[in-house]
């Protein structure tokens, strides 16, 4: 099963695709979709949605997973994040992908073992879980962590 992990952001959305076979995972691809901060909002959102539609068409994941929205102290930042997240969900919905949503603390706990893990700890664990993967940046790393968490949280071994 291919899982597309997504870390929505208006400035740079991360994405990562992994293969999950039972309890085993492997890296397929990852990347980041930056938007031009000087462009009008509608163009930024359209570019984000189009880029993610391309990723979905290229890799044909079986499902997607996205980090849940969190509230910033700045309401304007929260609104921009929500708009980017809407584009991410719309791209998945247009492709017929189911999207599981996971809180950031749950993602960290699933990948590192503690919900209070720092970004550096998550990135270090990704090197262990996905040996040899060339990760394109912090946003792509976060997206891969979401995909891995989704695989771990959805996997239930059969009893023998």
Annotation: binding site for Mg(2+): 7, 67, 139
Catalytic residue, from 67, 68, 101, 118: name it: 67
Q: 3-state SS string over the chain?
A: CEEEEEECCCCEEEEEEEEEECCEEEEEEEEEEECCCCCCHHHHHHHHHHHHHHHHHHHCCCEEEEECCCCCCCHHHHHHHHHHHHHHHHHHHHCCCCEEEECHHHHHHHHCCCCCCCHHHHHHHHHHHCCCCCCCCHHHHHHHHHHHHHHHHHCCCCCC
Q: Alpha-carbon distance 59 to 144, whole Å?
A: 14
Is 150 marked active-site?
no
Count the residues in the chain: 160
Is 67 marked active-site?
yes
Is 36 marked active-site?
no
Catalytic residue, from 62, 139, 142, 150: name it: 139
- Known binding residues: 7, 67, 139
**Looking at the annotation, which residues are catalytic?**
7, 67, 139
């Amino acid at each position: 099963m291919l899982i597309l992990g997504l870390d929505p952001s208006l400035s740079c959305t991360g994405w990562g695709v992994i293969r999950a076979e039972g309890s085993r995972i492997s890296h397929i691809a990852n990347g980041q979709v930056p938007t031009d901060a000087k462009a009008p909002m509608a163009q930024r959102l359209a570019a984000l949605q189009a880029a993610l539609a391309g990723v979905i068409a290229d890799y044909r994941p079986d499902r997607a997973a996205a980090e849940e929205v969190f509230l910033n102290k700045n309401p304007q930042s929260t609104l921009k994040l929500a708009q980017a997240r809407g584009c991410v969900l719309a791209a998945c919905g247009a492709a017929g992908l189911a999207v599981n949503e996971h809180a950031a603390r749950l993602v960290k706990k699933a990948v590192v073992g503690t919900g209070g893990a720092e970004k550096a700890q998550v990135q270090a664990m990704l090197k262990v879980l996905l040996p040899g993967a060339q990760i394109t940046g912090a946003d792509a790393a976060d997206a891969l962590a979401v995909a891995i968490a989704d695989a771990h949280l959805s996997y239930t071994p059969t009893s023998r």
